[in-house]
Amino acid sequence: MSVNTNPETTPRGPTTSGVTVQVHPRQEFDTVAFRDSIDQFKDVLVLPTTTFTSVFGPDAEAGYASLSSPQTSEDVIVYTLPFSEGDDPPKTTVPKAYLRGSLREQVITDDARPEVSVTAVDTADSGPLDVMRFSTKTESTQPTTCRLHPDDLASISSSDGDSVELYNPDTGARFQATARKASVNMDPGQISVSTRCRKLLNVEFPERAADGQTTTLHVRHPVRTVEGSDEKGVRSRVMDRLLNWAVDYHEVQLRLNIGLNADEGRSAGRVNADTMDVLAINDGDRVRIQSKNTETTVRCRPIDPESHFIETDSDIDATDVRDRTILLPSTARERIDAVCGDIVRVRRDTRHVAIRSITPSMFAFLGVVIGGLEIVDLLSPSLQPYGVVLTLFFAGVAIWLMLWPERVRCR
């Protein structure tokens, strides 16, 4: 199917019918064809710019598409970016597209260059919003909140308190935030985000932006490309609350980068030593990573820019090991519907910390419980219920004291 490149007849919005593209392997594209040096590792579909425009319209910078082929029983939703403008693959009868290997497996079988139909997932987009300063205090203390003018919220059919997805139009990097309506000191076409979000999405106020730095963000409804985490039962939620209270944690926002090849399939992530301290974790501790409505747990290990892992990995270099960045392999990114450049929320797994802290003192803990129950047997029947309650109380105090060093680390 040929792509319409006539500007006068190019559709102004997403197409309702599919555009057929042919998926080619990575080695058939020049590196300069990708907008970012790590695009080749993203879990995305990359289209020629003319094809991307015909699918999403001339004003779109990134979007979600539904892929279908005769070999699939149901459509697959993928995040979609265009190739670098001016460095498109050579034009062919059927446009050449790139789809990362793990995504290819969901829409094809053994065809080396399959043809798939690409249809835009219709989701309201605010268009470019100028990043502006709303309040220094607000931007420093509310890292997961963004503020928009009521007109801009209405343009995407959202209300105050809804979850929205922010994205950088230059890189396609995404972050899910809570939208707040702000009509005072804000005009239509403006957006305020937290200081940390600006740094991680690499956007800035126009007056403070470096040459070529993005000064706008887009807002749209979140679109899920993977199933969300299973809803936890009441018992599990209660246990999580107790552990969060007893162990404590810091939740930080980190930018995703490609992981080490050695970590593929191992459910492991890497951060630098400073980030390990911020998270209050040790080498090998498990952390919870949240993106949109999905969550995964990985074992976290420190990485140094001079590490032999960096020296021997052809896909990554020392500059990729930065503060507030987590190196996460594709097998883990896929579980949370995230691509390189996205911002995710990371905190230590309090269950893991509790088990690690209590296990070495398990015999002492059991001694408290068994000794208490032995004393209860010596009491009269009328006092035994009180003795059991007192034993459980002292057992809780023992656990509380065992976890005291971990709570201190988060203060």
Cα 114 → chain centroid:
29
CB 326 within 8 A of CB 346: yes
Residue 6 in any domain: the answer is: no
Residue 46 domain boundaries:
19-120
Q: Looking at the structure, tell me whether residues 240 and 333 fall in a common domain.
A: yes
Residue 369 in any domain: the answer is: yes
DSSP string, 360-406: GGHHHHHHHHHHHHHHHHHS-TTTHHHHHHHHHHHHHHHHHHHTHHH
Q: Looking at the structure, tell me whether residues 212 and 288 fall in a common domain.
A: no
pLDDT category of residue 55 using cuts at 50, 70 and 90 = very high
Residue 13 in any domain: the answer is: no
| pLDDT at 111 exceeding the cut of 70 | no
Q: Looking at the structure, tell me whether residues 307 and 339 fall in a common domain.
A: yes
The Cα–Cα gap between 216 and 256 comes to 21
Residue 33 in any domain: the answer is: yes
Q: Which of 71, 90, 120 is the last residue in one of the domains? A: 120
The mean per-residue pLDDT over the stretch 235-253 comes to: 87
Q: Looking at the structure, tell me whether residues 343 and 266 fall in a common domain.
A: yes
pTM confidence score: 0.80
Residue 225 in any domain: the answer is: no
Higher-confidence position of 9 and 335: 335
Residue 10 in any domain: the answer is: no
CB 243 within 8 A of CB 351: yes
| pLDDT at 11 exceeding the cut of 50 | no
Q: What percent of the chain has pLDDT over 90?
A: 32
The Cα–Cα gap between 302 and 282 comes to 9
CATH no. for residue 331? 2.40.40.20
Task: Output Rg (C-alpha) for the chain, integer angstroms.
Answer: 25
Q: Looking at the structure, tell me whether residues 344 and 238 fall in a common domain.
A: yes
Work out the burial of residue 189: count CB atoms within 10 Å of its CB; fewer than 13 is exposed, 13-18 middle, 19 or more buried: middle
- Calculate the average pLDDT of the chain: 83
pLDDT category of residue 9 using cuts at 50, 70 and 90 = very low
Number of domains forming the structure of the chain: 4
Q: Looking at the structure, tell me whether residues 91 and 175 fall in a common domain.
A: no
Q: Looking at the structure, tell me whether residues 255 and 181 fall in a common domain.
A: no
Give the model confidence (pLDDT) of 153-204 as tens digits: 999 999 999 999 999 988 889 999 999 998 788 899 999 999 989 999 999 9
